[in-house]
A = this chain, B = another copy of it.
Amino acid sequence: ASNKSLLILPGDGIGPEAMGEVRRIVGWMEDNRAVSFDIDEDLVGGSSIDKHGIPITDEVVDKAQNVDAVLLGAVGGPKWDNLDFSIKPERGLLRLRKDLELFANLRPAVCFDALVDASSLKPELVSGLDIMIVRELTGGVYFGEPRGIEDLGNGIRRGVNTQVYTTPEIHRVARVAFELAKKRNNRVCSSEKANVMESGVLWREEVTKIGESEFPEVELSHMYADAAAMELVRKPKQFDVIVTDNLFGDILSDCAAMLTGSLGMLPSASLGDVDETGRRKALYEPVHGSAPDIAGQNIANPIATILSYAMALRYSFDMGEEADLVEGAVQKVLESGIRTGDIMATGMTQVSTTEMGDAIIREL
């Protein structure tokens, strides 16, 4: 047995297909770099609902708790859309995030040189774009109590959710953002609605405190979430690291991802704290969703999932060299004009999911 453990959760939609290509690259690593992983594979989301009636079992959560890294495909699809809120596919992912306390979600919004023209934005606005969005992932309105729908009588109902943050929750995610900025361009922009929400006032004050006391060398700015959405569209390259809460992060990171034109290419990492054994709990997954409309057709772009695996190599297994190899191979494949349908452009060669995997392995 290896000392490197990885739990693979392909999930739903295009998740399994994309993960198939990751498996092949893992195989390549074993054959060519003598790296072996203890790999386990299990169910999450709709595929778990179909088998167990719930979107994730305790057993799978347990496994996730005890590996070095989890690699997830995607969850959800119309098949499970009408299920009750509490057992929808998404709850599997949300439970993983919460139970593993993966509080820092790193979402790079990078524009790949070869894909500049795939962006909706003018090339000069996105070429070279490289933003890191740090989204708080275990707090806020996603998990706040009280929550639910209550009956007020007379046919009237009331839906409630609670946005809540404590100072330690804000501090730990702020630190991740500042640390990352130090390795990048030394700038953090914190985003909330402090003009409307007291939880945003607290967020702003506490991020400021951490910045001033622990990272005086990092430039900190603040931007209301609505203004941030505007500025992302107007002039995305003004940003280096953006730190924000769970809900704003959900929206702003998707907006930023789409700006790049490289949505099918973007990985993400969700990180917890370092534990007693020196291990940092971690889950890696593509930014894109399960794309049920194109699932099972061998046309999905597996690159975001493959790059999520590369992120796992870098952050969880300290295998920067191997991560470079994978990222380099992807780069070369793009430069050679090979494209899946989502990033196809005139003059390029359109390939299937497995052919994209072939091409990347060829470059490795």
Against B, the Cβ 8 Å flags (1 = close, 0 = not) of A236-275 are 0000000000011011101101110001000000000000
Q: Take A168-B156, A229-B258, A233-B258 as given contacts and tell me if A193 and B250 are in contact as well, using a CB distance cutoff of 8 Å.
A: yes
Q: Does A195 contact B (CB under 8 A)?
A: yes
Whether the pair B230, A254 counts as a contact (CB closer than 8 A) is yes
The distance in angstroms between the C-alpha atoms of A118 and B312, with both chains bound, is 41
Whether the pair B198, A149 counts as a contact (CB closer than 8 A) is yes
Whether the pair A201, B85 counts as a contact (CB closer than 8 A) is yes
Q: Which of B90, B168, B254 contacts A196 (CB 8 A)?
A: B90
Whether the pair A226, B250 counts as a contact (CB closer than 8 A) is yes
Whether the pair A94, B196 counts as a contact (CB closer than 8 A) is yes
Chain A 262-318 residues near chain B, CB threshold 8 A = 263, 289
Give the nearest-CB partner of A236 in chain B.
B120
Whether the pair A167, B157 counts as a contact (CB closer than 8 A) is yes
Against B, the Cβ 8 Å flags (1 = close, 0 = not) of A144-168 are 1001110010011111111111111
Count chain A residues whose beta carbon lies closer than 8 angstroms to a beta carbon of B. 63
The distance in angstroms between the C-alpha atoms of A120 and B123, with both chains bound, is 9
Which of chain B's residues have a CB closer than 8 A to the CB of A94? 196
Against B, the Cβ 8 Å flags (1 = close, 0 = not) of A111-146 are 000000000111001000000000000000110100
Which of chain B's residues have a CB closer than 8 A to the CB of A227? 254, 289
Q: Which of B121, B163, B225, B235 contacts A161 (CB 8 A)?
A: B163
Q: Does A234 contact B (CB under 8 A)?
A: yes
Q: Does A199 contact B (CB under 8 A)?
A: yes
Top 3 A-B residue pairs of the complex, sorted by shortest distance between their CB atoms: A159-B202, A159-B199, A229-B255
11 contacts across the A-B interface (CB closer than 8 A): A88-B195, A141-B196, A141-B197, A142-B196, A156-B167, A157-B206, A158-B165, A158-B166, A159-B199, A160-B199, A229-B229
